[in-house]
Homo-oligomer: A and B are copies of this chain.
Amino acid sequence: MRIAIVGAGALGLYYGAMLQRGGNEVRFLLRRDYDAIRAGGLKVFSTGGNFHLKEVAGFRRPEEIGEVDLVVVGLKAFANDRCAELIAPLVDAETLILTLQNGLGNEEGLAALFGPARVLGGVAFLCSNRGAPGEVHHLGAGKILLGALIPENGERAKMVAALFRSAGIDCTAVADLQKARWEKLVWNIPFNGICAVTGRTVADILGSDCGRRLARELMAEVMAAANAQGLSEPVPEEFADQMITFSAGLGPYRPSMMIDREEGQPLELDAIFAVPLERGAARGVPMPRVETLLGLLSLAVQGANEGTA
């Protein structure tokens, strides 16, 4: 299968490498890693075993990639205004587009550009960081919950999920993509937010009473908003416990938003915070703690986030 990776950060490089190792013809749209990957391929340092792809098809412009069967979108959500120019050259009548981005609103944006029928979404529970150019570090986890934007496309979602599994990626097709998205936010909102504001790791948060309490209170607000969205079934109360347990296993993990802030990069505040807040407000669910966290994040990165998205 011909697959294009658009947005080859830590997530795009890792899944792209796995898909290529699994026998697919993968083409990466690259920026920072272009020279290193053209020269020496892509090295994956993974808790599941290191590997080195010596021949990697890397390109600078989407026109060089041409049409593919599947586009995997791993862009930071604040770069979504570039989706049209980056993805249009890759798409023929049958091409599927799978966004593995964080937060809410990404599938809808792609549907507006390319029609809803071809849009799939995946919620990735992946711990990975970029390394030196040409390298990616997979620190743990990696499961994807994959679904279609419109229910009629369930079979296509199952097919792509099977393709990912055949490449060694833990991937499950889900009927209710929105539910999976909101469940991811139950993690993303507290941990990306708290770590980015405070400069503390996941282990620091969970190692303090006030950190655990704050994380749980934020989770409760997100779950209340989720369960007001008419999901196929509610996010159960014990999901918060599961997320705490999952997070405890991450140790001193530095979530992507924390790294982005440290590097002076823009943060994915709209997709991870503002859109969920809007959807909560639309159903009358108060989320004062999440609002406060977003306000503080916005102030903290003033300047860094201006004029980018």
Q: Which positions in A face B, CB cutoff 8 Å?
A: 194, 197-200, 204-205, 208, 210-211, 213-214, 217-218, 288-289, 291-296, 298-300, 302
Contact = CB atoms under 8 A, between A and B. Distances in A.
A296 B217 contact: no
Given A214-B292, A288-B217, A291-B289, A197 B298 contact: no
A245 to B, nearest CB: 20
A218 B296 CA distance: 12
A168 B293 CA distance: 42
Contact of A302 (B200, B217, B296, B298): B200
A208 B303 CA distance: 11
A197 B302 CA distance: 13
Interface residues of A, dominant DSSP: helix
Nearest to A214: B295
Given A204-B302, A205-B299, A291 B217 contact: yes
Nearest to A286: B288
Contact of A197 (B197, B217, B294): B197
A265 to B, nearest CB: 17
A204 B289 contact: no
14 contacts: A197-B198, A198-B300, A200-B302, A204-B299, A208-B298, A208-B299, A210-B294, A210-B295, A210-B299, A217-B291, A217-B292, A289-B289, A293-B296, A296-B296
B296 A214 contact: yes
Nearest to A199: B300
A299 B200 contact: yes
A205 B298 CA distance: 10
Contacts of A291: 214, 217, 289
Given A198-B300, A204-B302, 15 more contacts: A197-B197, A200-B302, A204-B299, A208-B302, A210-B294, A210-B299, A211-B295, A213-B295, A214-B292, A217-B288, A218-B292, A289-B291, A289-B292, A292-B293, A293-B296
A194 B296 contact: yes
A204 B301 CA distance: 11
A213 B194 CA distance: 20
Nearest to A294: B210
A296 B291 CA distance: 13
Which of A194, A214, A218, A299 gathers the greatest number of chain B CB atoms within 10 Å?
Answer: A299
A296 to B, nearest CB: 5
Contact of A211 (B194, B210, B288, B299): B299
Contacts of A199: 300
Contacts of A218: 292
A215 to B, nearest CB: 9
Contacts of A217: 288, 291-292
A294 B209 CA distance: 12
A47 B98 CA distance: 61
Contacts of A289: 288-289, 291-292
Contacts of A213: 295
